Every structure is written in C-alpha cells, then in structure tokens.
Amino acid sequence: MHLRYTFRVYPTAPQRAALAQVFGCVRTVFNDAVAARRKAHAEGLPYPPTAVLDKRLITEAKRTAERSWLAEVSTVPLQQALRDCHAAYRNFFDSLSGKRAGARVGPPRFKRRSHRQAARFTRNGFSLRDNGRLYVAKVGELRLAWSRALPSEPSSVTVIKTATGKYFASFVVAVDEDAGRLEPLADPEAETGIDLGIKDFAVLRGGRVIENPRFFRKLERKLKKAQRALSRKQKGSANRAKARAKVARVHEQVSNRRDDFLHKQVKTIVAENQSIYVEDLNVQGLARGRGAKSIHDAALGRFLTLLESKAARAGRTFARVDRFFPSTRLCSSCGSLTGPRGMEGLSVREWACGCGAVHDRDGNAEINIRREGQRLVREHMVAAGQAETVNARGQDIRPGVPGGSGNPREGKKQEPNRTRLASASR
C-alpha cells in the first residue's frame, strides 16, 4: 500500500527561481504534448505514443533555439510530465468507454502559470540528506519542516507551489498493509450508523450530533470583497497579481479548515466504533439541486471517501447502505413507511408514526441505516461462509424481518452493486 506524506518547504530566493524554471519547463512540455495530440486528432492521425513525444518534445527540442532552455533543468520531471499527460488521456478514453468507474472525466487541458504548479521527481532526481534536507536535481538542498518521520524510503517526491506561493514536498512511500490497523474493540455495541445532512453535519448512534461548521459560509463575505477588489485591477499589473493571491488565500483558508475538521472527525469515529454504516449518497446529484452551495461546503463526498479509506486501514467494518433505502421514512419501531418524504418534508424535524412512536428525523434515520448495514454485513458473511443463517437473537437473517435484519423496501430488489463493504476479514 502506498501513502503520501506532505511537508512544508522553505526554499531560498535562488531556489525559488530555480523551482520556477522547473515548473515552467514542466508546464511547457505538458502543454506541448497536449497540443501534439490535439493536432493528431484534428488531422485524423493516431495519437503519438509517449516514447515518440519524449524524443520530439524533450531530446530534440533541447537542440532548438526555441526550447534550448529545457536543458537547464533536470530531465526527470519533464519525462514525468509526459507520463502524466498520457495517464490523463488514458483516463479520458477509459471514462468514455465505461472502463473507468466514477464520474465522466474530460480530456486534459493546458496548464496555466497562475494556478497550482507541481513537478514530480523519481529516485533519479532527488535524495534525502543526513542533515534532514531534500536534495532536488539542479535545484539544491531544500529545507523541510519535518512533522514526523517517513515510515520507509520514498519512491518519488512531488514539489508543489500553491496559488498562494507556498511550497510543499509530497513523498510517496510504501507501507505495510497492517501498519495502521487498530486493536478490535471488545464492546459489541461499538458500532454506529451515520446520517449525513446540512442542518447538522452528521448524527451518530445515541443522538450524538456533529454540527455543520459551514466554513465557506463564514468566509463568504471576505471572499466576495476580495473578488470585487480583483475585478477592479488592470490585467497584467502587479496589483492584480497581489489581489489574485489574496483571493487564493481565502480559498486556501476554507480548504485547510475543512480538511482539518474532516480528518479529526474521521479519526474519532474510526477509533470509537468497530463497525460503521453510512448511506451511499449521490452527492453530485444533490449538488445540482436546491442548496448546492451548502452541499459543496459540507464536503459530504470527501468525508465518506476519507471514512472508508481510514476504516479499511484500521481494520474496521464499513458498509454503504443503498441510496434508495428509505431511512427517513421508515419507522424504526414498527417498520412502516410513514415518515416525511420529498422536498416538502425537509422542514419536518420530528414526526409521529401510527404505532404511537415519536421520532427525531435524523436519529430515526441513523437507527435504520445501522440496522440495514448490519443486515448487509451479515448477508456478506453468510455468502462468504463466515456466519450462520441466524443472528445472535435467533432471528432469520433473510429479507423480510422488520426488526433490523430484513429489507423494508416492500419487495424492491436489493442492488448489491450499490453496496461496498470494507472489513477486517479482507
């Protein structure tokens, strides 16, 4: 398993100039590769392979007057730029043909100088010195702020310059599969469902609520003010560059606060629960409707991705419940579908069922998600031959039992491809 470790870099003025030259050369080679493949497509010719582009855009280009400055930097990041372009096109074609899962991706676009800059070096282009500094070919020894030691020798490093002018070094290291595994929790009740939302970020077992921090909303006025100031600056001027950096700093502040919040919540949930059950939300679909800005601000999709990854590394059981499972409408007491539904039911926070039970909207959804997740895990274990066909209470774990071990969707066939399990038994 490979992980990334990122550290802040503090280059000197000559090193910043050398890195700027590296970033410019990497950007030029990448853009030349995109232009060459676009030209081949327009002329109806096959796409030139990476080896041909390597010779044409790097080796031969260094001998020309227009691209002679490519010889002033290391060849390693230039070759990696071509491989990045090739990978981007491969992902684009795989997305078109359906080989690549997930959302549709577009073809690679030209890189811009004002955006994030990056250059990747393999083992031939960098080394870690005994004095704790990072040596980069034709740049020098960079001073790093080491917050922790690397678990193994890195296979590559990516030097990054953000839009705000900060520098980082991102190392790729190989770690053992069991390196982050936690001890199993002895408490059988150490499991939770998670009902995600906008009013409250998440509701966990026992009514525990994680409040929605709304980081973008809190800095939205500051961002608008900075964007208005940017729009008044003359293009190409120094003042416009300063105003652009100020806008980028606001975005960076929002992103850093959100990432810190998500990582802390994920770490706490994984440490306190042996089994975690969530709803497989269609975040992209939700973000196209009313409240799209709040959906993006909450970063629900990133939270689920981090939670699934961390649970797998820690050896916890993780299950996604089908997005069509009626967790809000289902009464957790009697199993009837009497809860609020549709857009008109979003404002209903509490509701009473015909059986006499009064439910909190999010707390009831958490119970249903947890029960459905338990049922899915048991079915998975039975299919794998790891469990009996009845649970600990002697109930049949086949669909149809409303007490948490059946599918309450009134005969609708379960779609197994919508449910993903990550458990310690993998």
Pair (11, 120) in one structural domain: yes
Out of 32, 191, 279, 308, the active site residue is 279
Question: Does any domain span residue 269?
Answer: no
Tell whether the model's pLDDT for residue 14 goes beyond 90: yes
The pLDDT tens digits of the residues spanning 328-348 come to 889 988 888 888 887 667 778
Out of 54, 191, 195, 297, the active site residue is 195
Pair (133, 201) in one structural domain: no
Give me the pLDDT at residue 15, please.
97
Pair (160, 203) in one structural domain: no
Pair (406, 299) in one structural domain: yes
Tell whether the model's pLDDT for residue 356 goes beyond 90: no
User: Is 372 designated active site?
Assistant: no
Three-class secondary structure assignment of the chain: CEEEEEEEEECCHHHHHHHHHHHHHHHHHHHHHHHHHHHHHHCCCCCCCHHHHHHHHHHCHHHCCCCHHHHHCCHHHHHHHHHHHHHHHHHHHHHHHCCCCCCCCCCCCCCCCCCCEEEEEECCCEEECCCCCEEECCCEEEEEECCCCCCCCCCEEEEEECCCCCEEEEEEEECCCCCCCCCCCCCCCCEEEEEECCCEEEECHHHCEEECCCHHHHCHHHHHHHHHHHHCCCCCCHHHHHHHHHHHHHHHHHHHHHHHHHHHHHHHHHHHCCEEEEECCCHHHHCCCCCHHHHHHHCHHHHHHHHHHHHHHHCCEEEEECCCCCCCCECCCCCCECCCCCHHHCCCCEEECCCCCEEEHHHHHHHHHHHHHHHHHHHHHHHCCCCCCECCCCCECCCCCCCCCCCCCCCCCCCHHHCCEECCCC
Pair (403, 281) in one structural domain: yes
Mean pLDDT of the chain: 87
Out of 32, 362, 372, 379, the active site residue is 362
The pLDDT tens digits of the residues spanning 257-280 come to 999 999 999 999 999 999 999 998
Residues of the chain with pLDDT > 90, as a percent, come to: 67
The pLDDT tens digits of the residues spanning 34-47 come to 999 999 999 999 98
User: Is 54 designated active site?
Assistant: no
Pair (103, 76) in one structural domain: yes
Give me the pLDDT at residue 351, please.
84
Question: Does any domain span residue 222?
Answer: no
Question: Does any domain span residue 154?
Answer: yes
Pair (198, 51) in one structural domain: no
Give me the pLDDT at residue 282, please.
84
Q: In which domain, by residue range, is 349 found?
A: 191-209+274-422
Question: Does any domain span residue 306?
Answer: yes
Pair (112, 204) in one structural domain: no
Find the range with the poorest average confidence among 100-114, 138-152, 210-224.
100-114
Domain count, the chain: 2
Pair (135, 14) in one structural domain: yes
Pair (165, 286) in one structural domain: no
Tell whether the model's pLDDT for residue 208 goes beyond 50: yes
Pair (132, 160) in one structural domain: yes
